[in-house]
Structure 1
Amino acid sequence: MPEVVDHFIQHHDLQEVRNKQREILDAYRRDISKHTTPMESMRIGQVLQSLPSLLARENKKFIYNVLKKGARAAEYELAIQWLMDAGLVHKVSRVKELQMPVKFYEDLSAFKLFLLDGGLLGCMTEAPASQMLVGDNVFKEFKGAFTEQFVLQQLVAQGFSPYYWS
């Protein structure tokens, strides 16, 4: 988030950085409700809000039942697609075999979702901003969520389409 980084460089105030990140997340939520039906907006919001807890799990595979008891893919696949089309999340599919071409072995039913930015993910977790910058605690906590988020962002920035294998 260039605006947030620029603000930190100018002011060196981590609380202000968090405030800027909250403003960005609030703007995303307003845009979602402006461009979707109330039902779509609710489902998109549920998916978005679930990301920190899903990524903090040992098994980071996206599980619809976490969103709502009895939830099914059919209810939420449009919400996920909307978030992907808006560039707010990255979908990382699982591959069944470590063979080339990888796309041939993609398991379309198993995937992980990552937020577009690690700083915004940190804001959504409500972890103190200082915890994100001091030491390596952030990489030890949350079961590797921030490590995977960081690696994903770097791969995507280099033009790669990441997959995972398990």
Structure 2
Amino acid sequence: MEQIVYFSGKVKELNKFLRMLYTIPGKIVAVDIDNSLINVNKELERLGYDINLYPNPELTEDFWTSREGVDILLNAELISITVNFAASFIKLGAEVVFVTSRSEELKLLTEEWLQKYFPGFEVYFTKEKHLLDADIYLEDDPQQIQKIISLNKTVLIPEWPYNRDLFKVFEKAIYYNI
């Protein structure tokens, strides 16, 4: 028997996840890149940045377009459970797209990176991810999550210190361990 999807999280979250899986065929799934698909936080911690503070005032748009910021983005490892989710959702009949709030200055770098690991997939650049009108989102940013939940959309949340338990009372918010 082929393993279709692996989930790592609390039992209550697993139940919500399984209910979501039954509805996934034909849905559009928007996967955030930074700290949902790739582990930028691990690189930030390694370099001494505080990932508990979100957004960290040191990490401005200018920072991310600097040599240090670009190196962090390029060195960040894929988050395997999110990659597995995306692959499973595709197998189950969903359309997966990628989305990021990175600046336009990082567009070419991001598109080239995406084509290396996920050839043929679309990436959207927007600070207002909820306006994409996807059916399901994978997102770590508390402000983005709040907007998505306000539209009664399902959001899978990779659990980080800055978003831990903020949305656990919402039925359409599903936390998972990375």
TM-score where L is the length of structure 1: 0.29
Task: Report the structure number with the largest CA radius of gyration.
Answer: 1
Higher helix share: 1
